Amino acid sequence: MRYLIVVALLALPIDAHAKGDDETSPPKTTKTTKQCLGVRVWDSAKKRCVRPKQSELNDDLLYDAVRELAYAGRYLDAQGVMDAMADQASDRVLTYRGFTARKLGDLSLANVHYEMAISLNPDNIAARSYMGQGFVEAGDKVAALMQLREIQARGGQGTWAEVSLRQAIETGTGYNY
């Protein structure tokens, strides 16, 4: 029965148009991952690796470092950088808190963060994709398909968020960075 639901959901028509910006594309590698160890970021003004709270970086630049560290598999370091960000309640911080928790094996905590991010911004297709991939990892393809449909309905057709979640549903394996 579940298989039929999955097939039916995949066959539904798609009405949404793709969004132009796809923030879920891999971040550019910088000196933060090339030279800095632990919970440190590259501060170009100081020309060295520093603790995030000692840096001259604003939340946008710290967020870029979080994404870079997370994509490099340095999940605990990414969490440490997030701790230094001023806006702890933003949907982007909550999305990456969820992402790092999921990658560290805590799907329950990841879903709490994803749900909070989505409640703040229902169009957060990255959170929806990451949450859906967690559902795939937990064996719940129906819940993953529901997130895929939400991504498509919210303009995410053709984005990395949609493609990676669709691929996870088809293969049974979440995307690895």
Which tokens go with 80?
């440490």
Report all structural domains of the chain as residue ranges with CATH numbers, in order of start: 27-87 (no CATH), 89-177 (1.25.40.10)
158: alpha, beta or left, given left = phi > 0 and alpha = psi -120 to 50? left
**Is the pLDDT score of 119 beyond 80?**
yes
Of the pLDDT bands very low, low, confident and very high (cuts 50, 70, 90), residue 10 is very low
Residues 6 or more apart whose CB falls under 8 angstroms from that of 119 comprise none
- 3-class state of residue 156 by DSSP: coil
Name which of 5-9, 65-69, 106-110 the model is least confident about: 5-9
pTM: 0.82
Of the pLDDT bands very low, low, confident and very high (cuts 50, 70, 90), residue 139 is very high
51 close to 83: Cβ distance less than 8 angstroms = no
Question: Long-range contacts made by residues 56-65, C-beta under 8 angstroms, separation at least 24?
Answer: 59/85, 59/86, 59/87, 59/90, 63/92, 63/93, 63/96, 64/27, 64/30, 65/30, 65/32, 65/41
Per-residue confidence (pLDDT) for residue 126, from 0 to 100:
94
32 close to 69: Cβ distance less than 8 angstroms = yes
- 3-class state of residue 138 by DSSP: coil
130 close to 177: Cβ distance less than 8 angstroms = no
Query: Can you tell me the mean pLDDT for 104-132?
Result: 97
Name which of 27-31, 131-135, 151-155 the model is least confident about: 27-31
Which tokens go with 160?
């990395």
Name which of 23-32, 43-52, 102-111 the model is least confident about: 23-32
Beta bridge partners of 42: 49
**Is the pLDDT score of 128 beyond 80?**
yes
Query: Can you tell me the mean pLDDT for 115-144?
Result: 97
Over residues 55-96, the pLDDT tens digits come to 989 999 999 999 999 999 999 999 999 999 999 999 999 999
Residue type, 146: M
| Alpha-carbon span 110 to 115, nearest angstrom | 9
For residues 8 and 126, which has the higher predicted lDDT (pLDDT)? Answer: 126
- 3-class state of residue 48 by DSSP: strand
**Mean confidence (pLDDT) of the chain:** 87
Query: Can you tell me the mean pLDDT for 14-39?
Result: 68
Query: Can you tell me the mean pLDDT for 16-31?
Result: 59
